[in-house]
Structure 1
Amino acid sequence: MKSSVESLEGNKVKVYVEVEESEFDKDIDRAFKAIAREIKLPGFRNGKAPRRVLEARIGVGPAREQALRDSVPLYLARAVREHHVDLVAAPEIEITDGAEEGGVEFDATCEVRPEITVPGYGGLRVELPSPTATDADIEEAMDAERRRHGSLGDVDRPIETGDFVTLDLSATRDGEPLAGLNTEDWSYEVGQGWVADELDEHLVGTSAGDELAFSAVPNGTDEAADLAVSVKAVQELVLPEVDDDWVGENLGEHETVDEWRAALIDQLAEQKLAQARQQYVGEVTNALALLVDIDTPAAMVQNEFQARLKNTLEQFQARGVDIQQFLSATGQDPETFTAAIRDQSEHAVKLDLALRAVATAEQIEVSDEELDAEFAQIGVRFGEKPARVRKAYIDNNGVEDLVMQMRKSKALDWLVHHAEAVDTEGNPIDIDLLLDHDHHDDHDEASEPVSEASAAPPSSTDQASSTDQASSTDQASETDQEDGK
């Protein structure tokens, strides 16, 4: 087989493939063997009729057509791999010679992943919540603990946000009661936004004994309903006074207010630092993706969208969640739900292109030792020896994809070490604090589109990169073809 590649405009290339007659004849021979299993001929066991007998009976045409269908995608897959053509969509294949006899020539117009540059990636600046606990944070934490130990007391005044009210509630639509929205003696904290936003608006300013009637769209629905509310009692949460005695009696770990405050400072500092660390990688990837100013290839976005949608629906199914019930409970329609996934998909594609660009610009490569270590880690996760993992990737042409994922992860590692982080007030945050933990899992999740994720060694039916396998070229059986030559 001979092949060549010609660059075209618009992130496309044309792959030319020429297969000699002697080589293609072996494909025809395999096609005759397949046909033999489908045809019963007197005097021959199923599948054992020789080619010359079949050719005399049906001619060479059916076998040649079958050979073209089976082998052209495989020849193209070989050419794509040999020339490192980074397919992102199904190619357009045209047989230019050999449809009837002789050797075979064809070309394939292929959309490829664009190679971009990302100006400014070395000076990313991201904003994070401050990893330092403020006095306001400490007071808020202390008040939260006081609320947990508070008690309700009756009040003789109009309702305020934060009060606890006892209600009788009924809701109807077209005169029919709505399930779950008819109850008596319901205790509710005003301001929580339950039932409907309008409930809090109508309750504030009213008093015990008042009757309310209004229309509103209940949460999780899209149609208005008639609500009737009877206010039976109003109470406020009375918070305890904080002193050493109260701390000693109610917070067994501490004996004084000062001890409690000091412990809260340490606890909040740890929590806020963990929050900043968790957000840091995500903010860096967001800032990087914003630097990509090209129109993302529609095929790449569609591949990513389909992979993410499939993954999401499978997660719902695994958890026993009905998608329609989820949409209703979250107030979404299918269009809004899928639009959000498509936006995520476009962001993931931009991030993929940008990380590849950074890896190229910074000359980031993967050493043999690093690749061996990755095979070993994958083997540990899946209970396989590193040699078997390596063989699986080699046999199924997955090494190149794995290496690229590793390069992208290393590129992201470079970025998070070179970015600048500030808090909401513009104060610098020490990057070393943000990186002083095992953040490689954050990198893997942030840098790898769902359509390219490869958690396990690739099998013959599950290549390492579904985006790269978007074409109709099925490489799964290529080894069989080569063995037959």
Structure 2
Amino acid sequence: MVQNTVSGKLEEIKGRGVSSTPVDFRPVASSVDQLEDNKVKITVEVDESEVDEAIDLAFKKISKDVSLPGFRPGRVPRKVLEAKFGQDYARSEALNEVVGRNYRTAVISHEVDTIEQPEVTIIEGEESGPLCFEAIVATRPSVEVEGYKDLTITLPPLGATEDEINNQIDSLREQAAEREEVARTATIGDFVTMDLSGSQDGEPEESLTADDFTYEIGSGFIVDSINEGLIGAKVGEVIEFAGDHPNEEGVVLSFRALVKKVEEKKLPDLTDEFVAEMTEFETVNLLTEDTRNRIEEAKKQQSADLLIEEIGSELAELVVEDPPETLIQEQIQQQLQEMAMRMAQQGMQFEQFLAATGQDIEALAENMKDPASKVVKIDLALRAVAGAENISVEQLDIDLEISNLAEHFNQQEDQLVEIFHENGQMLTLKADLLKQKAMKFLQENVEIIDPDGNPIEREAFLFLENQDKEENMSENVDEESTTIDTEEEEHSE
């Protein structure tokens, strides 16, 4: 349960283009002082020339936005604007832009992990001269996760059971099954042909009526009571059953059915001839072995995913402090946005979903609060584990991730790096990589057992995804280094 927030952010950036308010990377005179309650004070000094430049731009914007008699938009002289609006108005507009831009630059250059909007106080320069301002802002807190080294994770056994193998093979036999009419009463798995008529709240409903309707008992119907009604029924019998409408609260659906035929399913014998006809294998033994292998491979992948999920859940339990409400609300908003995006991909508007489920956005957000709090706790816990274990993110890690993301989003690597910088996402990228490393550490060190308490060897299922890519990246770096050394030697000769 390690979220890749950078990937999600890139989807957003890719959809709308590079941010319209990119970070300015001109040198900024700034300092950071640690305060109490996970807050910091960022002090920033800005040259008067930069303020004057911003004032010029402010007047140009005002000139484009206003309409004055005798002047075309964008052609109003500055002196006319100063006379009408005053110097203070343009300076105020300029300071808002300068403060915001330099604050973002200072936050990124000092890698301050802010979680709220800052409280800004202008110390000098509100009326004239160079600018100095202070920004007090809350940062992501650190938490304690005592006991993370003693975690024990229980996972299902990795081996395929005989029932699982037989069920898989029986599904193949089902494809070639035949139906045979029987004189007995109907039971689970039988096919019943009936004349069916339905009503809604006592009124006949044509869409619920059908002659010679065939249903496999236990396969699922608009109301579950059909199964109870049909089990034990015989040809010529009339049965009645009812149930709540699955999508409309308070609406009752009633049915009347005349049983016309009962058929049982006859599966073909499992023979080498059947296997050769239906599959790529020649014998039952070969099919059975392949089925076993496929089940066990699927279980290995499921166990790898489940291990991450269970580690996350256990970590969240170790975080005793309540996470900041700001982070919880941010996570809720992210989940709502992801939900809306998924629905849009399926052709449904978010408002339609709310109407169909009888919810409002406030109730939905409230229901998300506990899961969101858990996600935030996992995030904080993984950062804490990384700190306790001296886990760090190296440039090689960043280069590898940039390469992977560039391939995924079909972007040039240098363009992707530029996007990260312009949108202030490099710190998020590093945090994601740090949490991934912390999770990898836990995957390699927690105790893993099956439900009976027997140890499970992690090597049997744990796939460390980036291991080969990291080795390839290291080899490339070594090759480049060797090439450079060789060129230097040739040059010296």
Between the aligned partners of 2:69 and 2:170, the Cα distance in structure 1 is 92
Distance of aligned partners of 1:190 and 1:80 in 2 relative to their CA distance in 1, 3 Å threshold: same
Kindly indicate whether residue 326 of structure 2 is the aligned counterpart of residue 302 of structure 1. no
Report the more deviating stretch, 260-269 or 303-312: 260-269
Q: Is the partner of 1:429 in helix, strand or coil?
A: coil
Give the superposition deviation at 1:308: 1.9
Matched residue type, 2:340: L
Q: For residues 72-123 of structure 1, give each alpha carbon's deviation from its aligned partner in whole angstroms, at most 9, with x where no partner exists.
A: 3234334433544322223344557765666666554423211112222223
Unaligned stretches of 5+ residues in structure 2: 1-27, 469-493
Kindly indicate whether residue 399 of structure 2 is the aligned counterpart of residue 380 of structure 1. no
Between the aligned partners of 2:47 and 2:444, the Cα distance in structure 1 is 53
Kindly indicate whether residue 234 of structure 2 is the aligned counterpart of residue 234 of structure 1. no
TM-score (norm 1): 0.77
Unaligned stretches of 5+ residues in structure 1: 442-485
Q: Which residue of 2 aligns with 1:427?
A: 454
Q: 1:161 aligns with which of 179, 184, 188?
A: 188
Q: Which residue of 1 aligns with 2:488?
A: none
Between the aligned partners of 1:327 and 1:181, the Cα distance in structure 2 is 27
Q: 2:417 aligns with which of 383, 390, 414?
A: 390
Q: Is the partner of 1:227 in helix, strand or coil?
A: strand
Q: For residues 2-36 of structure 1, give each alpha carbon's deviation from its aligned partner in whole angstroms, at most 9, with x where no partner exists.
A: 65656555444454556676764544343233223
Cα contact 1:420–1:431 (8 A) shared by 2: no
Matched residue type, 1:240: P
Percent of pairs identical after alignment?
35
Kindly indicate whether residue 94 of structure 2 is the aligned counterpart of residue 88 of structure 1. no
Between the aligned partners of 1:120 and 1:128, the Cα distance in structure 2 is 20
Between the aligned partners of 1:26 and 1:304, the Cα distance in structure 2 is 38
Give the superposition deviation at 1:132: 0.9
Distance of aligned partners of 1:89 and 1:198 in 2 relative to their CA distance in 1, 3 Å threshold: farther
Between the aligned partners of 1:391 and 1:242, the Cα distance in structure 2 is 61
Report the more deviating stretch, 99-108 or 296-305: 99-108
Q: Is the partner of 2:65 in helix, strand or coil?
A: coil
Give the superposition deviation at 1:394: 3.5
Q: Is the partner of 1:235 in helix, strand or coil?
A: strand
Q: For residues 358-400 of structure 1, give each alpha carbon's deviation from its aligned partner in whole angstroms, at most 9, with x where no partner exists.
A: 2212212222233233333333344444344334434443332
Report the more deviating stretch, 107-116 or 349-358: 107-116
Q: Is the partner of 1:428 in helix, strand or coil?
A: coil
Kindly indicate whether residue 350 of structure 2 is the aligned counterpart of residue 320 of structure 1. no
Q: Is the partner of 1:182 in helix, strand or coil?
A: strand
Give the superposition deviation at 1:300: 1.2
Q: Which residue of 1 aligns with 2:244?
A: 217
Give the superposition deviation at 1:405: 1.7
Q: 1:407 aligns with which of 431, 434, 439?
A: 434
Cα contact 2:217–2:230 (8 A) shared by 1: yes
Cα contact 1:116–1:353 (8 A) shared by 2: yes
Matched residue type, 1:292: V
Q: Is the partner of 2:289 in helix, strand or coil?
A: helix
Between the aligned partners of 2:119 and 2:204, the Cα distance in structure 1 is 58
Between the aligned partners of 1:440 and 1:221, the Cα distance in structure 2 is 51
Q: Which residue of 2 aligns with 1:280?
A: 307
Give the superposition deviation at 1:292: 2.3
RMSD: 3.6
Between the aligned partners of 1:123 and 1:159, the Cα distance in structure 2 is 55
Q: For residues 419-470 of structure 1, give each alpha carbon's deviation from its aligned partner in whole angstroms, at most 9, with x where no partner exists.
A: 23223333322211222463789xxxxxxxxxxxxxxxxxxxxxxxxxxxxx
Between the aligned partners of 1:328 and 1:391, the Cα distance in structure 2 is 41
Aligned length: 439
Cα contact 1:171–1:225 (8 A) shared by 2: no
Between the aligned partners of 2:416 and 2:66, the Cα distance in structure 1 is 41
Matched residue type, 2:403: A
Q: 2:142 aligns with which of 115, 120, 144?
A: 115
Between the aligned partners of 1:415 and 1:198, the Cα distance in structure 2 is 48
Q: Which residue of 2 aligns with 1:124?
A: 151
Cα contact 1:220–1:328 (8 A) shared by 2: no
Give the superposition deviation at 1:230: 0.9
Between the aligned partners of 2:94 and 2:380, the Cα distance in structure 1 is 37
Matched residue type, 2:324: P
Give the superposition deviation at 1:217: 0.8
